Amino acid sequence: MPHPNFASLLLMFTAVFTSSACGDPGGADGGAKNDSPGGGTVVCVTNAGKERCYKAGDNTGSSGGDASVSSKPDGSTTGASKDAGIPDTGASAGITVTGVVSDGLKGDPIKGAKVCVNAGGVKNCSDSGDDGAFGITGVPTKTELDITAESPDYMIALLSQVGVNENLTQSIVLVPRAILEVYADLVKTTLDSTKGHILIQLRTPSGGFVKGAKASLEPKGGEGPFYTSTQNIPDLKLTESAGGVIFFANLAEGVQAASVFHPSLKCTPSEKYRPGPAPGSVSAPTRPGHVTNVTVECK
């Protein structure tokens, strides 16, 4: 049965995933900047008016809290400082990935979310701090990145990006599991925990919804596409977008080529995503229990 408050939940929910190379002016919440006092690269992330900085090769924030680091059987490392865990990869080389993990319904920062970056087979993980901020250092450069974030009561977020050679800011919005279950109820399906799911967020340059777009996956499989109304509520009667989200459910593990078409607008995925085989498509990996997030701008 749908959640009794599904309408208000869905109206409040817009999954926004933003990514930019560090170097932008700091100061805005979720923003990041680079500073290099005394040599070395320092990346700063600001959230809720609070700035925290991380130095490449270090595993503590600017507060100087003690950190503990442990190795796991799969070769990844975990670390935790007083404010936010920064794993010590044992190497000063590489880029730093910072960002903030927040709730897709309320917008609140999520404390203790596990964020992992897998680049070229090297996996580093860190827990977000009280303000949702995280920082992971020593990430290999020019290597494709898979970024995951997970926390109890939320779907595991998966973002797949091209390799970069500069520090990266990646803000992550986690979708409450109840929200996606509502989506599934409204399109008369059930989420399969052994399958993956894809959420495509459509937006105009001004941030508005996109009417009249259609999405496809190659290879075909799973269920969908399911389109949302102008209230961002899934509607089985729709055959094209009216709102801001397109939903694919219950996809087998693998890699999908996701494409969005519009009769009069050019719909382009962010350059941060790995390109798919077809022009304008994006490579979207799917994993059991994960939601792969893709943002597409139509103009």
pLDDT tens for residues 240-283? 999 989 999 999 999 999 999 999 999 998 878 888 888 889 99
| Maximum mean pLDDT: which of 113-122, 148-157, 278-287 | 148-157
Q: Which of 85-99, 126-140, 222-236 has the lowest mean pLDDT?
A: 85-99
Q: Both 136 and 224 in a single domain?
A: no
d(CA 16, CA 61): 26
Q: Both 79 and 150 in a single domain?
A: yes
Structural domain harbouring 17: 10-63+74-173
Share of the chain above pLDDT 90, in %: 46
Task: Give pTM, 2 decimals.
Answer: 0.72
Confidence of residue 61 (pLDDT cuts 50, 70, 90): very low
Q: What are phi and psi of 280, to 5 degrees?
A: 80, 0
Domain final residue pick, 173, 195, 210: 173
Q: Which of 209, 226, 227, 221 minimizes the C-alpha distance to 297? A: 209
Domain final residue pick, 173, 197, 227: 173
Q: Both 126 and 259 in a single domain?
A: no
Give the per-residue pLDDT at 285: 92
The predicted-structure confidence for 180-215, as pLDDT tens digits, reads as follows 999 899 999 999 999 999 999 999 999 899 999 999
Q: Both 26 and 157 in a single domain?
A: yes
Give the per-residue pLDDT at 157: 95
In a domain, 290, yes or no: yes
Task: Report yes or no: 202 and 210 within 8 Å, Cβ to Cβ.
Answer: yes
Domain final residue pick, 173, 202, 232: 173
Q: Both 54 and 153 in a single domain?
A: yes
User: Positive or negative CA dihedral for 24, 161, 215, 156?
Assistant: negative
b/e 57-94 (16+ beta carbons within 10 angstroms → b): bbbbbeeeeebebeeeeeebbbbbbebbbbbbbeeeeb
**Token representation of residue 195:** 């399958």
DSSP H helical ranges for the chain: 6-12, 177-186
Give the per-residue pLDDT at 271: 78
Give the per-residue pLDDT at 275: 85
Q: Both 162 and 22 in a single domain?
A: yes
In a domain, 1, yes or no: no
In a domain, 268, yes or no: yes
Bridge partners of 126, per DSSP, are 115
Asked whether the predicted pLDDT for residue 290 surpasses 60, the reply is yes
Return the CATH number at 59: 2.60.40.1120
Asked whether the predicted pLDDT for residue 20 surpasses 80, the reply is no
d(CA 164, CA 145): 9
